[in-house]
Structure 1
Amino acid sequence: MDRHIKIIATLGPGTETYEAVKELVESGAKIFRLNFSHGGREFFAKMVEIIRRLEQETGLTLTVMQDLSGPKIRTCDVGLGAIEVNKGTEVLLGTPEKFEKTDEPFICLDIPELFEGVKVGDPVALSDGMIRFVVKKVEEEHLIRLEATNSGMCPPRKGITFPGTKTPLAPLTEKDKKDLATGMELGVDVVAMSFVQKPEDICNLRAEMIQYGRRIPIVAKLERTAALECLDDIIAEADGIMVARGDLGLELDLAELPVAQKRIINACNEAGKPVIVATQMLLSMVNSPMATRAETTDVANAILDGTDCVMLSEETAIGRYPGEAVRFMRKIAYQIEAFMFESGLTKTVGDREKEHPSTFLAHAAAMLAGKTDAKAIVCHSTSGATTRILSSRRPKQSIYALSTDPVVRHFTNLSWGVIPAEPLDVIEDHQERAEVFVRQCPDFKEGDIAIVTAGQPEKGKSVTQTNVVKLYEKLAKEVS
């Protein structure tokens, strides 16, 4: 049985050689994340070159995803060093000029606009949520008094968040714009946007992208509660979604995070948009060759929830066992997918989506594949839309996604169960292209049945919706 879940591996110091990336590919990773919060242009150029080389050598579609930093908010250093706090300790949070007027414990934040709208009782999280505070008093403009709700050390230059509040900072920073230019020059396939709060944020990134003459898919990273309030609108505007559990876990009460994950995945499945679950999936494998039982169950449950991709971050970027982490994740997928198919637990897209004829045909193709026990579904989809609808049906069979557009092929790589492939474009008829692919592909043996879907353009038109579903058998004389 093919593994349908897609594994994303973050590249970093632990996987910066050709041999290391090759091991990740052989272990099952097909999508590679370049985290632009760390590393420079030289490193990213080297990684893209290695991935493209491996693409040529293996014949696989390997997708490069650029992950923009977004407005990571950090405290500044006023020379106090790390401040030790205990539960109940009061500290001041203010801009640098306020520090000169006090001798109390002080945390500096040099972004005045973040103080706007902060009120008594609001939570504040420091150092990736390790230290938590509550606003006790607004002393004056750009100066608030916090009370610690737990104990620990507060070093300078650490991330700080105001959970539940809308940040006035735009998610596309000047650094992101420069990084986007680098990504466009290097030829990345997908861009992930951090700290999306509303659909307009995605439109702004797309407008920025157009000046480079490329329009590639955008994955919206959901890390703010504000994004959850307009979830459907963001899903409609974005090409894909990432459940970024690191920062989202700071914004929400941690007990609320599993439900948020399920709701986001459900909405993406309903809309036929690929969804990624990220952060701490196999974190113990950074330093250990074995994952914990809780991590193993977490990965399995994300797959059961209906995610298209599971992502490794530190595990492959700086971990000691990157290949083992990918292989173990693949092993979990093998077990849980077999259980899903045996138990009939695979999800299906909602009835409201069946109203469009091409969507109904995709639904019929998935159902036909199940009833005939077909080898696979072969979908010729110019835009990739039908492929994504087929994927959302979660058929047992793999979906071969044929498209002559490399942007489409690299993005369909993010959808569950999809194997991107390039058809022979010398053949004009899309249905015939799909049938020739079955005849020539060594994955199909004599007597294998493929369900073929295609959209055959009318004369004078280059694009159409899917309008053909066909049961196609590979005959003996066709064996190449």
Structure 2
Amino acid sequence: MRYRVLEPSSPRRPSQQSNAEPLHGRSGSPSRPVVATDALAGYSKGISLASDERSKPEMVSGVGMETVTDGSQFRKTKIVCTIGPTSNTREKLWRLADEGMNVARMNMSHGDHASHKAVIDLIKEYNKLNKHSIAVMLDTKGPEVRSGDLTEPIDMVGGQKYIFTIQEGADGSDGRISVNYDGFIDDCAEGDTLLVDGGILALKIISKTVRDVECEVIDGGIMKSRRHLNIRGKSANLPAITDKDWADIKFGVDVGVDYYALSFVRNADIIYELKRYLSKQGAKIGVLAKIESADSVSNLEDVLDAVDGAMVARGDLGAELPVEQVPLWQSRIVSGCRKRGKPVIVATNMLESMVTNPTPTRAEVSDIAIAVREGADAVMLSGETAYGAFPFKSVAVMATVAKRTENAMLSYSGTRRYGSDESEPIDWIVPPFSSSKPGSSITSVGLSEMFAYHATTMANTVKSCLLVFSRKGNMPALMSHYRPDYPIYTFTEDVHVQRRMAMYHGVTALQIDFKPDAESTFDAAIEELKARGFLRGGQLVAIVQSGRDPIWRAASTHAIQVKRVPDDPVVQPSIDD
């Protein structure tokens, strides 16, 4: 490693702070100016959760981040938005990006390939116009056990008894309800609790035959057609990837999505199977496991070794496990991903009340803050942006809460603040030596981790952002793990890497053509950031080159240099004779 500070040869002058008025993006404009501030100047203007979303002068269009030269002004936690009927048009997608969306989630449980492709095409258009990127995540439906069609909804009352049967045609008219899974009987046992839609209704299994399961209502409610059924503490013995899932996965390859979120993962084997398929297709698509079943919790370490990231899917997880265990498992999953340097999303019911209400509950605000403090890379909105009445306010609220929580954490001392006490030692990324399975870590040796840590520490010390030049995205992913105080700007030639980085905490990726020599590329990158308002003259930047995938060096050498951003040349007024 080498460290050096480069001063500009031209004399410095006091920098001028831009007073450009921000564009709120209501007309679908892809970009708007931002205002650069002094490093660690403090956050002096904020967003009230009770205020109208149009009063947010500091939001940066598209990037979903505020003024980014100051660590306290930069939202590092990413936001995943589920796209649905209230958000699937060009204008609405632009608006979501304007409010802070970083990743668009396609829920394959709803819609068809044509409708999803239309949305993905719009996102590609947005990315092409804006240079920064919104990533696309395809969420598979997964294997599900569902009830059949009913002639009419049933008002189930506590103490009543109903029959769930694998016999087709049972429509509820005689107290018998069909189930679409022949193995349902084998999975049931007397005394088990049958949950409907994750616990909206609960029934106790009191007896069973070869075709029927008799249940007594514990927690009543309205039973409707085609409801999701599961037995608490058990996973259905269904194929991990269904025929529909494989069709959707192939669709994702064809349209070029960036991530798969694989539903109801039970063990690592299915992850490796999917990765082998993607390798044969030549597809560079990350695989995230949705941790939402009892089996996935039991096999958590192996699953996290295998995947490229994970989602804490708290809805089904709380149905298969006692609900009071969900916060504990959330912390363990986030911690497990953090130690492996892999992105993790916290999802489900983050702002559920905002599906119908314009303001969140206090508990929801705390829920987002807890996920941020634990160190989640991203937080996710589901119905709030898919079919809710206030999709844009939901994103604005989530962005505000995340940023303010991060700002409070910046006041701590020490190196690590996310997901631990400040006195806790550095937890190096889990090395791969304990596992012979492929994909157990994003690095093969410890040198890259050590370099990323020391580069992050140095950037924090000199109060500079990080400029990382990377072919494959490995080094910015490692640096994201250490949660630097300041932004990580990743420059890459690969637009796929650019989009993949949209999931990582604190990383903003830009596509750039690498020039034959490094210094010219560095200068071009700095000018690009200055043009966007992300840097200004006089600031220090830490420039990082990864030795794992060298760009300008034949030898595999990690390098870092600290450079001062040159001021713009002073233009002297002309004097007419």
Q: Contact 1:82/1:153 (CA < 8 Å) preserved in 2?
A: yes
State the partner residue of 1:413. Answer: 502
State the partner residue of 1:317. Answer: 386
Confirm whether residue 90 of structure 1 aligns to residue 161 of structure 2.
yes
Q: 1:184 to 1:460 in 2, by over 3 A?
A: closer
Render the CA deviation track for 1:252-276: whole Å, top value 9, x for unaligned.
2211111111111111111111000
Q: 1:438 to 1:119 in 2, by over 3 A?
A: same
Secondary structure of 1:247's counterpart equals helix
Confirm whether residue 373 of structure 1 aligns to residue 463 of structure 2.
yes
Render the CA deviation track for 1:323-343: whole Å, top value 9, x for unaligned.
111111111112111001113
State the partner residue of 2:20. Answer: none
Secondary structure of 2:411's counterpart equals helix
Confirm whether residue 360 of structure 1 aligns to residue 437 of structure 2.
no
State the partner residue of 2:249. Answer: 180
State the partner residue of 2:545. Answer: 454
Counterpart of 2:323 (choices 246, 254, 270) is 254
State the partner residue of 1:239. Answer: 308
Q: 1:177 to 1:391 in 2, by over 3 A?
A: same
Counterpart of 1:27 (choices 99, 111, 116) is 99
State the partner residue of 2:202. Answer: 132
Cα separation, 2, equivalents of 1:193 and 1:478: 52
Which protein has greater RCO, CA pairs closer than 8 Å, 6+ apart? 2
Q: Contact 1:453/1:470 (CA < 8 Å) preserved in 2?
A: yes
Query: What is the one-letter code of the residue matched to 1:264?
Result: I
Confirm whether residue 192 of structure 1 aligns to residue 269 of structure 2.
no
Gaps of 5+ in 1: none
Render the CA deviation track for 1:395-430: whole Å, top value 9, x for unaligned.
11011122222222211110110001223223365x
Query: What is the one-letter code of the residue matched to 1:72?
Result: E
Cα separation, 1, equivalents of 2:554 and 2:213: 58
Secondary structure of 2:319's counterpart equals helix
Secondary structure of 2:203's counterpart equals strand
Cα separation, 2, equivalents of 1:241 and 1:53: 28
Confirm whether residue 271 of structure 1 aligns to residue 348 of structure 2.
no
Render the CA deviation track for 1:13-70: whole Å, top value 9, x for unaligned.
1012111111111111121111111112221122112111111222221111111111
Matches within 5 A, 1:48-447: 48-77=120-149, 81-96=152-167, 105-137=175-207, 139-344=208-413, 345-347=417-419, 350-351=427-428, 353=430, 356-374=446-464, 376-427=465-516, 429=518, 433-434=521-522, 436-442=524-530, 443-447=534-538
Q: Contact 1:85/1:152 (CA < 8 Å) preserved in 2?
A: yes
State the partner residue of 1:467. Answer: 558
Q: 1:99 to 1:46 in 2, by over 3 A?
A: closer
Q: CA RMSD in A?
A: 2.7
Secondary structure of 1:335's counterpart equals helix
Q: 1:478 to 1:256 in 2, by over 3 A?
A: farther
Cα separation, 1, equivalents of 2:486 and 2:165: 57
Q: Contact 2:166/2:181 (CA < 8 Å) preserved in 1?
A: yes
TM-score, structure 2 length as denominator?
0.77
Q: 1:477 to 1:127 in 2, by over 3 A?
A: closer
Shift of 1:435: 5.5
Shift of 1:109: 1.2
Q: Contact 1:126/1:160 (CA < 8 Å) preserved in 2?
A: yes
Cα separation, 1, equivalents of 2:135 and 2:79: 11
Larger radius of gyration, structure 1 or 2? 2
Shift of 1:150: 1.4
Cα separation, 2, equivalents of 1:282 and 1:98: 38
Q: Contact 1:68/1:192 (CA < 8 Å) preserved in 2?
A: yes
Secondary structure of 1:20's counterpart equals helix
Q: Contact 2:346/2:380 (CA < 8 Å) preserved in 1?
A: yes
Shift of 1:171: 2.4
Gaps of 5+ in 2: 1-72, 421-425, 432-444, 572-577
Identical counterparts, % of pairs:
27
Q: 1:131 to 1:48 in 2, by over 3 A?
A: same
Query: What is the one-letter code of the residue matched to 1:214?
Result: A
Cα separation, 1, equivalents of 2:555 and 2:316: 41
- Equivalent pairs counted in the alignment come to 475
Q: 1:128 to 1:337 in 2, by over 3 A?
A: same
Shift of 1:346: 3.0
Shift of 1:436: 4.3
Shift of 1:11: 1.1
Cα separation, 2, equivalents of 1:103 and 1:300: 47
Cα separation, 2, equivalents of 1:463 and 1:98: 69
Query: What is the one-letter code of the residue matched to 1:468?
Result: A
Q: 1:373 to 1:116 in 2, by over 3 A?
A: same
TM-score, structure 1 length as denominator?
0.91
Cα separation, 2, equivalents of 1:12 and 1:463: 48
Cα separation, 1, equivalents of 2:254 and 2:542: 39
Query: Greater shift after overlay, 356-365 or 249-258?
Result: 249-258
Cα separation, 2, equivalents of 1:466 and 1:174: 46
